[in-house]
Amino acid sequence: MTKKKRKDSAPPARGSREAGNPPATDGFSLIEVLVTVVIITVLMSAVFQFLRFNQQRYRGDQLLAERNQGARSALELMTQELQQAGHNPNLSTFPHLTGAVTPSGGIVDIPVSSTGGIFYGNLIEIGSSAADGNREVVQVTGDATHTITSTTFPAVITVSHAANQPAFTRSLPFPNGILYQASAVGTNQSVNVNLIQYFGDIEGNGTLRYGEYKLSELVPPATSTLKCTTASGLQNCHILELSRFLTQIMNPDIPASKSATSDTFSPLADNILAFPDASGIFLNPDQKPIFRLNYDTFGNLTYGFTTYVRSVDVDITMQTVDKDPEVNEFRTIRMRSHIVPTNINYAWGITLLGGSPDLPFRPTDTAGHTLPIPD
């Protein structure tokens, strides 16, 4: 039998393809890669734009929040202190006469166990009760030879007083705890000011203090790109600073000047927008006043007038420190407060009931110093 020679065929080489089989697909083509890159680029651009937008908005809100906090803190402090204006502290102790005194037709030195809380102009009641025939109310009044010491205070008395009689104040409020002097009688009056001056037991610790809130321009002056309405049309707003001064009214002397107190004005709020009117009073961008005193005046030409500032309106517009990056403009915030000084309104009620002669006078001293304290 004839054997046929077997012919084995070798396997196809690796990477070759047999007839009828499609080409291998091991990766992306260049066109597919380019399309993918373009899509990712577009998506990432949108994401980054969104993140940038949110970052700008966050920064703008942060700037506004900082202004809001600054304005709120300033108004809270002003409200707290002006509500205390006119508060007449109780004597730190309740003194008694350590010796007998008799009238001399002039000022006498009245010996007491303590003069803590007694100042010139104070009304002191001497006597045990209203039924006491020797009871009287005297005003602390000194001169070159009669001054307040640690154990005596000067006053004019009209009756004799024995030792151990009590001497005290009734802590009636100062009617002019916020200083403003009108020259005519009137009710429901108002005035716009750049300076608020006040005094009383501001901190509630038995010590008289004098304070001021002042609006002033920066040095050198600065303006904003934001506009204020004025009598001559729109103008760039002026940028102001609100500052505060507070000092103790030294017992028994009143400081001759602010520099004598060693206290200085301290910034309370800045970047306040305003424009001065014809009289120099700063107004808001819409011409509304920043500081307004609302008062009633009682008295006459013979005995003088007492002005009771019964409320204070504070209206502040502030711009952000930097421009809002979202709109490339300064943003503003406006805050208002209506402050009612309780003590002064209490004094006004006493006046309407006929008790105004018993209200205490504005503090003064033998050197002629009185309030307000000059610069």
Tens digit of each residue's pLDDT (9 = 90 or more) over 235-261: 999 999 999 999 998 666 788 899 999
Is the pLDDT assigned to residue 101 strictly greater than 90?
Answer: yes
Cross-strand pairs, 338: 313
Most confident of 43-52, 75-84, 144-153, 327-336: 75-84
Element (H, E) at 239: strand 233-248
Q: From CA 58, how far away is CA 229, in angstroms rounded?
A: 30
pLDDT value, residue 3:
52
Residue whose tokens read 């600073």: 241
Structural contact between residues 350 and 358, judged by C-beta atoms closer than 8 angstroms: yes
When pLDDT is cut at 50, 70 and 90, the band that residue 75 belongs to is very high
In order of 187, 271, 290, the CA distances from 191 in angstroms are 12, 24, 11
When pLDDT is cut at 50, 70 and 90, the band that residue 91 belongs to is low
Is the pLDDT assigned to residue 1 strictly greater than 80?
Answer: no
Listed in sequence order, the residues at least 6 apart from 35 whose beta carbon sits closer than 8 Å to its beta carbon are none
For domain 90-170, the question of CATH label 2.40.128 is answered with no
Picking from 66, 61, 75, the residue whose alpha carbon sits closest to that of residue 271 is 66
HSE-up of residue 362 (Cα within 13 Å, Cβ side)? 20
Q: From CA 213, how far away is CA 375, in angstroms rounded?
A: 14
Q: How much is the mean pLDDT over the chain?
A: 85
Please provide the distance, in angstroms rounded to a whole number, between the alpha carbons at the two ends of the chain. Answer: 141
Listed in sequence order, the residues at least 6 apart from 176 whose beta carbon sits closer than 8 Å to its beta carbon are 86, 306, 307, 308, 309, 344, 362
Dmax (CA) of the chain: 172
Total Cβ atoms within 10 A of residue 371: 20
Q: What angle do CA 58, 63, 67 make, to 5 degrees?
A: 145
Is the pLDDT assigned to residue 71 strictly greater than 90?
Answer: no
Sign of CA dihedral 249, 250, 255, 258: negative
Total Cβ atoms within 10 A of residue 144: 7
Structural contact between residues 341 and 177, judged by C-beta atoms closer than 8 angstroms: yes
Q: Which region among 64-78, 103-117, 179-193, 257-271 has the lowest average model confidence (pLDDT)?
A: 64-78
Listed in sequence order, the residues at least 6 apart from 97 whose beta carbon sits closer than 8 Å to its beta carbon are 110, 111, 112, 126, 161, 162, 163, 164, 165, 166, 167
Domain ranges of the chain: 59-88+174-358, 90-170
Structural contact between residues 211 and 245, judged by C-beta atoms closer than 8 angstroms: yes
